[in-house]
Amino acid sequence: MAAADQIKRLIKFYGEGDEDRFFASAMQIAASEARQGHANFAQELKELIEKARKERSSAQFEKGKVIPFSKSKNEIRELVDVVNSNLHLTDMTLTESLRDSLSKFIHEQKHWEVLNQYNLKPKRKLLFYGPPGCGKTMTAHALAGELGIPAFIVRLDGIISKYMGESIAKLRLIFDTMVDHRGVYLFDEFDSIGAHRNQGQDVGEIKRVLNSFLVNIENNRSNSVIIAATNLPKSLDNALFRRFDEIIQFPLPNGKEIIQTIENRLSGFTLDKNLDNTSILEEAEGLNFSELVNASEEAIKEMILSQRNSIKYLDLITALRKRKESHANRLQ
Ligand SMILES: Nc1ncnc2c1ncn2[C@@H]1O[C@H](COP(=O)(O)OP(=O)(O)OP(=O)(O)O)[C@@H](O)[C@H]1O
Ligand SMILES: [Mg+2]
């Protein structure tokens, strides 16, 4: 029978969520049982362990399921936020061409096994660029929601370390994690490492991180989706672009999208007057999606707090105007 300290170790590793060491200890028990001549029991134990391991690794492909990081990978918790997303593309206002590219991407990802049979791979490395508040981060969450896998939001500031070599090891850890934790890995605010002209004290370390990112993204053979998002594609190092399967632009909303975004946010509420597209567009042109959503929410809040049954059209116009004026002030 297993010795007391073997059982204690098993319970300890289980409690710590350290899956790798839990299974390794269980295998040690099987080996010592075999040495003591209990061949049948040892064999039975080995089979149980293998079955449990297989089930754990395939479970991560189930919709919405997140496998906890093992203790040996605990470090990763400081570098990424794990999000189980329920967002879908239909929750977003998208141009036809953007919706087409994203739908195609999802279709390829969902049918990777079919492609594999023909020795083809689905696209999985994307670069998103465009002004703030235009849906880059939201799309990464929506892709995770559509594919039923978690979104891992990489904290780039957590990666850049002042100790030489440490940042590279941390980045490596993230890319290694992609292999057994399938997900959408978002490197948000990517310009913080991807910009080719950085002027700060830690230029050297940032350059090393960028080079290591290039090597890692090129060599990565996982099933995970990798997304880098940035506002500034012009400042990005040229070597970066060819590492991605597709470069996707997220522009400011055009007229149709402005109206649709406001209508979507206000749906379920009544306005005291029908939306007048011309005057809305006059006030809202140049605003990003985020500002449109926030302005709509401001008008909703006014309604709730003043205990009215309908949203004042004027509140909406005022909220939009305020945002546009703050744009104009920023440009001065
Ligand atoms: N296409 C869209 N449809 C509907 N809402 C959107 C869309 N894009 C953005 N939004 C709204 O704006 C908010 C901010 O968007 P998001 O964080 O994706 O912008 P971003 O492009 O990542 O900006 P940044 O460059 O500042 O990181 C979202 O939470 C959502 O409310
Ligand atoms: Mg973002």
Q: Is the pLDDT of residue 134 over 90?
A: yes
The pLDDT value recorded for residue 61 is 42
Write the pLDDT tens digit of every residue in 194-247: 765 545 556 777 788 888 899 999 999 999 999 999 988 777 778 888 899 999
Write the pLDDT tens digit of every residue in 38-89: 999 989 999 998 888 777 655 544 444 455 666 556 778 888 999 999 999 9
If we measure between CA atoms, which residue out of 139, 68, 157, 132 comes closest to residue 98?
139
The pLDDT value recorded for residue 82 is 93
Query: 292: Cβ below 6 Å to ligand 1?
Result: no
Q: Tell me the ligand closest to 231's alpha carbon.
A: 1
Write the pLDDT tens digit of every residue in 135-168: 999 999 999 999 999 999 998 877 887 677 788 8
The DSSP bridge partners found for residue 186 are: 153, 227
Nearest alpha carbon, ligand 1 atom 1: 93
Mean pLDDT of the residues in the chain: 87
Query: 253: Cβ below 6 Å to ligand 1?
Result: no
With cut-offs at 50, 70 and 90, classify the pLDDT of residue 27. Answer: confident
Q: Tell me how far apart the alpha carbons of residues 318 and 104 are, in angstroms, rounded to a whole number.
A: 39
Q: Which fold has domain 71-249?
A: Rossmann fold (3.40.50)
More confident residue, 277 or 105: 105
Distance 147 CA to ligand 2 centre (A): 20
Q: Is the pLDDT of residue 300 over 80?
A: yes
Write the pLDDT tens digit of every residue in 247-284: 999 999 999 999 999 999 999 999 998 888 899 999 99
The pLDDT value recorded for residue 62 is 45
Q: In this structure, what DSSP letter does residue 234 have?
A: G
Question: 235, 196 in Cβ contact below 8 A?
Answer: yes
The pLDDT value recorded for residue 308 is 92
The pLDDT value recorded for residue 205 is 77
The pLDDT value recorded for residue 274 is 83
Distance 251 CA to ligand 2 centre (A): 13
Question: 146, 104 in Cβ contact below 8 A?
Answer: no
The pair of structure tokens assigned to 186 is 């978002």
Nearest alpha carbon, ligand 1 atom 27: 132
The pLDDT value recorded for residue 207 is 80
List the domain boundaries for the chain: 4-59, 71-249, 255-331
* Most confident of the following: 185-199, 205-219, 286-300: 286-300
The pair of structure tokens assigned to 111 is 């049918």
φ and ψ at 291, to 5 degrees?
-65, -35
Query: 13: Cβ below 6 Å to ligand 1?
Result: no
Q: Which fold has domain 255-331?
A: Helicase, Ruva Protein; domain 3 (1.10.8)
The pLDDT value recorded for residue 60 is 47
The pLDDT value recorded for residue 295 is 97
Q: Tell me how far apart the alpha carbons of residues 170 and 28 are, in angstroms, rounded to a whole number.
A: 30
